[in-house]
Every structure is written in C-alpha cells, then in structure tokens.
Amino acid sequence: MPESDRVTRMENSEIAAALLEIGELLEIAGESVFRVGAYERAAITIRSLSRDLGDIYDEGSLKALQSIGGIGKSTAEKIEEMLTTGRCGYLEELRQSLPASLVTMIQIPGVGPKKIKLFYDELGIESIDQLEEAAKTGGLRELKGMSAKSEENILKGIAAYHEHHERILLSDAYPLAAKIVGELRRHPALEQADMAGSLRRFRETIGDIDVLASSAAPEEVMDAFESLPQVAEVIARGATKSSVRTRAGLQVDLRVVAPHEYGAALQYFTGSKAHNIHLRELARKHDLKISEYGVFQMPAEKRIAGATEEEVYATLGLPLIPAVLREDTGEIEAAAEGRLPKLLGVDDICGDLHVHTNWSDAMPTIEQVAEAAIELGYAYVAISDHAFKLPVAGGLTPQQLEEQMDAIAAANEKYPEITILAGSEVNIDNDGNVDFDEELLARLDVVAASVHAGFGQDRAQITARTIGAIENPHVEIICHPTGRILGKRDPFAIDLDAVFKAAAEHNTALELNSFPDRLDLKDDYLREAKRAGVKIAINTDAHHAEQLRFVEYGVVTAQRGWLEAEDVINTYPLEKLRGWLGRGSTPSL
C-alpha cells in the first residue's frame, strides 16, 4: 500500500466507534441481543488493543484480524473494509434506514431501544431535545405503557445524560493525543511538544485535548498539525493557536510558543486553573509575576525564568510539582513544606489481583493471562473469575472452582517465571454474605468480593452489605467499591467513611479498578482512604489479555490520589503480599 493511503487509515478508536454504532442501530431496529452484543464486544476488544488494527492487518490480512479474541468473521470483514477503504458500507446502510440522532438517545439512562422506537414511530421524535420537549409538555404519557411518572423519569435521565456526556474518557483521548504529539515531534521545525491541560494531569475525563509545542516557525507547525490524518476540520486558527476537531469528534487545541517561553506556557496550560490561580497569588507575595510567558520580578518586570517548568517553580522556592497533583488540593503547601508524596509508578506494580478467564465470562485462557502477565514483568497474577451467584457472568460453581484450582496448579508448573494465584470474585448478597463455604474460600490464595446487584438500595443497606464482606475473614479485597460506570451509572449511595473505617480496622483492601470507565475508587476517595489507613489494590478486572495494560490508567489515578507504593498491596513482592494476605503458603503451589 502506498504511504499516502496508509496515513489516512482509520484508527482503532474510529473503527471501534463505528462497530459500536452498528450495534446500537441494530438494537433500535430490534435485532437479537446476540448480534448486538457481538458488535459491542468487538468494539470493547478493539479499544483495549495496544496495537493498531492496521498493523495487524498488514501482517496477516483478514486471518490476523479474526484471530483477535472476540472478533468474528463478519466483523473482521467490516474492519478490513474500513482499513482499506475508510468506509463501512453496512453502517452507512443502517444509518440510511434510521436517523442518526436516534442512536445518541440510547445513552439516556432509562431510555432503551424499544422506547426510542415507540417515540419515533408514534411521535416522530428523533433527538434528545425533541424528547425533552415532549416529556416537559406531557406529550408522552398517552403512549402505550407510559405515564406522567415515566415522563418525569425521562427528564431525570436527560439531565443525567447532559451531566455525563460533555466529557470524554481519558482512555479515548490519551492514545489519540499521544499519536498527535508523536507526529508533531517528527516535524523538523519543532523543538518540543507535550500534552497539557487535564490530559497531562490524567483526569479521568477530558473536556478537550490541549497540546503545547515550541518552535521558531509556528505557522509551519500549525500547518502540519492541521493536515494530520486524524483531523476532520479546523475550527479556529490564530497566530499561535489552532483548534481542530478530529474524525472521532474530539477538539484538540494546539498552541505554539517560543522555546524560551516553553516552561512557563507548559505550566500555564497544564493547569489546573485552581492550581494556577493559587500559584500566581503566591508569586505576588514574593513580588513576582507568573504568566504564560515567564516569571517576572516586579515592579521592574525583569524576566527571571520561563524556559522550563522546574525553573518556574524554583523561583518560588518550590520543587517541580508533578502534573497529576496540580489541583490545588494542598499540593502547593506540601511542596513548600517538602512533603510531596513519593508517587508510585507502573514499574512498582508486581502483579494484578483481579483478572477473568474463559472459565467465566472473559476471553483469555489461564495460560494467556499468565503470558500477558509475564510480558508485563509481573511476579504474580490472580485468576479471580466470577462465582456461581452471578450466573449471567458464567459464575463458577464450587466444583468448577475446585477444577480451576487444579488447572491453575498445572499452569504454575508450566510457567515457573510467574506465580498464578487462585482467586475468586465472589458476590456480596443482600445480607453481606458471599458465595462458597468457608472451607473452600480458605483454600484460595486471595478472595475479592463485589456488589453486583441491588445498586439502587438505600445507603444503610448497601453500606451494611459492604461492611459485612469487609468483616468476613476470608475476603481480602472489595472490588469497585462505589459501582460507578463513567457516563452510564452513578455511584451507589454508599457511606464511604464507614467503609474506610471498617476496611482499615479489618485490614481489608479496597480496589482501584483500572478499567477506564470505572476508575473506582476515584482519585479523591483514594486520598481519603489513605488518610483512614486503608490499603488499596490496583487491579484491572481484565476480561481480555490485552486489558492487563489498563493498569496504567489505574496507576495514574492512584497518583492523583497521592498514593505511594506502600499504600498499594500489589506493589509488594510475592512473599510480602502473602504475609499481608495472611494465608501462608498455599495449595496452589
């Protein structure tokens, strides 16, 4: 394939978005859940791939695409079509058959494809705005199965939708921004380029992508930026700033500054706004002025720094404050007093304590999980499949769990370079009890417990259930403690103070689930948990071997929560972890 065709090839994120849209359109059209689910799963798989589909296709054509777990023949053919033509005929056909705005309506909590079809067929409603208008004016209550109450619920759902959908997930923005920065760095006129804004601070969601560059030839750099294959349209262009919209619909702002101003500009555009305001107030007290152009001694306005961020902070007598901490939540005071946390990094992680296999609802075999973990340099990985009280996720019966423990023992023989821990993700029932009897739980290496049902329960009940599991001597980790799914589901009404207190007292770890739409516990809660003396497990909950790499999103979130390696049990080497788990050496070895 000629080079020019290559660069305009569709990205993984664009292909995933197209497949997801197919699934959603089929759902509205009333297709079987099986077909719909196949597209959804393929999209999820593609989003978690660390390699470009284009590269995989170049190496092994259609066959290679099909060998990616979760991608069947017809999906692989659609991917091939998108890679080679940049289009998907099937999606275009589906779009023709239904208005596109119907698809976004699926994302309103409480509004499913059946209702969308009803509103469309009966009232011609095609958009969220039209739906909102109809609900406000009592226009829906006469329809079959609808009432004034359901109109009220729809309005609530629309409010929740707006709250969640103004921002995009870090994991959707980061790979794209990394590519853009990588491309810019290859430009001969470019000196430096970095992500800035909330993306550089690794916030869980991103408003827009900010990129900063330095060059003596800003026009050339902006021209190159605007002609990147990811760019769909240029929104605005000035002397030093260009804003574009990508084909995936994200806004990217590029600013190009002079090299001697780069540090001051990077500091300014990294933010947060609150951090910047506080820093600038502090500067005034030192008779300094900090702006995006540099640091100036007042009143003479003599420029004293600006080329690097270190320099900017040093003029205030501060060490460089890591971008992840710049939220004005005490980091400036901590820096001044020399007590910034020693943040943990991905290299500190020794293993993953929450991974699923094809024994329950996930793709990989135990062996594939082991190999992926070895690839990441881990010392251990825990297989913690679902348990039988969650049949929809293929939960293991007691007998299946025993069989799996044997299979894990065999895999440990096969892979001496890593220890595969036998675990389980048990379900916390309404009374705080979990699957399996004590004898079986005691034979595992590690037990994690999750709330998987009853999300709508009141605060007292959901808190009591969780604390019940925390108090269980056979449970070491509580998974995704607030149950939120970014953009989809609010956290449940749980009393985290009470949970933290119980977890500290019973030495039960709470999970930081690294799945990009969970990140649960979130940054602020991690910090509170740490203050309460709670240990954290940074797990991925991977359902695909590639997803073990999501640990990176967990680690940056942990950094935002001021966590240090000692706070996180899976930074411990195996023996120390075993000591913490308190189970001694175990039968799986």
User: How far is 256 from 303, CA to CA, in rounded Å?
Assistant: 20
The type of residue at 121 is D
* CB closer to ligand DGT out of 257 and 447: 257
**Residue 541 contact among ligand DGT, Zn ion, Ca ion, none, beta carbon within 5 to 8 Å by kind:** Zn ion
Scanning 267-275, 315-323, 414-422, 485-493 for contacts with ligand DGT by CB under 6 A, the matching segment is: 267-275
- The per-residue b/e assignment along 384-407, b for 16 or more CB within 10 angstroms, e otherwise, is bbbbbbbeebbbbeeebbeebbeb
Position 253 contacts Zn ion (CB under 5 A): no
Position 236 contacts ligand DGT (CB under 6 A): no
The strand ranges marked E within 301-394 are 302-305, 351-355, 380-383
- Among residues 437, 521, 496, the alpha carbon closest in space to that of 472 is found at 437
User: How far is 135 from 150, CA to CA, in rounded Å?
Assistant: 9
Sign of CA dihedral 558, 562, 567, 573: positive
Sign of CA dihedral 215, 216, 218, 220: negative
Strand order through the sheet with 288-291: 288-291, 294-297, 302-305
Scanning 247-255, 395-403, 526-534, 570-578 for contacts with Ca ion by CB under 5 A, the matching segment is: 247-255
- Among residues 68, 88, 99, the alpha carbon closest in space to that of 22 is found at 88
In this structure, the strands spanning 380-383 and 351-355 are parallel
Position 523 contacts Ca ion (CB under 5 A): no
CB of 340 to ligand DGT, least distance (A): 20
Position 165 contacts ligand DGT (CB under 6 A): no
Position 436 contacts ligand DGT (CB under 6 A): no
Tokens of 511: 């999970």
Residues 500-559 that bind Zn ion (CB under 5 A): 541
* CB closer to ligand DGT out of 195 and 545: 195
* CB closer to Zn ion out of 25 and 363: 363
* Chosen residue from 178, 216, 232, 277 binding ligand DGT by CB under 6 A: 277
User: How far is 174 from 179, CA to CA, in rounded Å?
Assistant: 9
Angle, vertex CA 310, rays to CA 308 and CA 313, nearest 5: 115
Sign of CA dihedral 339, 340, 346, 352: positive
* CB closer to Ca ion out of 198 and 570: 198
Q: Taking CB positions, which residue lies at the least distance from ligand DGT?
A: 271
Position 398 contacts ligand DGT (CB under 6 A): no
User: How far is 144 from 146, CA to CA, in rounded Å?
Assistant: 6
Scanning 199-207, 315-323, 457-465, 566-574 for contacts with ligand DGT by CB under 6 A, the matching segment is: 199-207
Binding mask of the shown chain, residues 425 to 444, with x at each position contacting Zn ion by CB under 5 A: x-------------------
- DSSP state for residue 346 in the 8-state scheme: G
**Residue 273 contact among Ca ion, Zn ion, ligand DGT, none, beta carbon within 5 to 8 Å by kind:** ligand DGT
Position 327 contacts Ca ion (CB under 5 A): no
Element at 193 (helix H, strand E):
strand 190-196
- DSSP state for residue 360 in the 8-state scheme: T
Position 294 contacts ligand DGT (CB under 6 A): no
* Chosen residue from 198, 427, 540, 547 binding ligand DGT by CB under 6 A: 198
**Residue 271 contact among Ca ion, ligand DGT, Zn ion, none, beta carbon within 5 to 8 Å by kind:** ligand DGT
* CB closer to ligand DGT out of 285 and 339: 285
* Chosen residue from 176, 193, 206, 283 binding ligand DGT by CB under 6 A: 206
Residue 169 — left, alpha, or beta (φ > 0 → left; ψ -120 to 50 → alpha)?
A: beta
**Residue 466 contact among ligand DGT, Ca ion, Zn ion, none, beta carbon within 5 to 8 Å by kind:** none
Position 235 contacts ligand DGT (CB under 6 A): no
* CB closer to ligand DGT out of 210 and 511: 210
User: How far is 61 from 94, CA to CA, in rounded Å?
Assistant: 26
User: How far is 429 from 433, CA to CA, in rounded Å?
Assistant: 5
* Chosen residue from 191, 208, 219, 528 binding ligand DGT by CB under 6 A: 208
* Chosen residue from 39, 225, 269, 515 binding ligand DGT by CB under 6 A: 269
Which residues, in sequence order, are CB contacts of 433 under 8 Å at separation 6+?
A: 468
Contact 249, 291 (CB under 8 A): no
* CB closer to ligand DGT out of 57 and 202: 202
* Chosen residue from 6, 63, 185, 273 binding ligand DGT by CB under 6 A: 273
Position 210 contacts Ca ion (CB under 5 A): yes
CB of 275 to Ca ion, least distance (A): 14
List C-alpha distances in Å: 471 to 468, 497, 522, 577: 5, 15, 23, 20
Position 263 contacts ligand DGT (CB under 6 A): no
Position 331 contacts ligand DGT (CB under 6 A): no
CB of 221 to Ca ion, least distance (A): 17
- Which residues of the shown chain bind Zn ion in the complex (CB under 5 A)? 425, 541
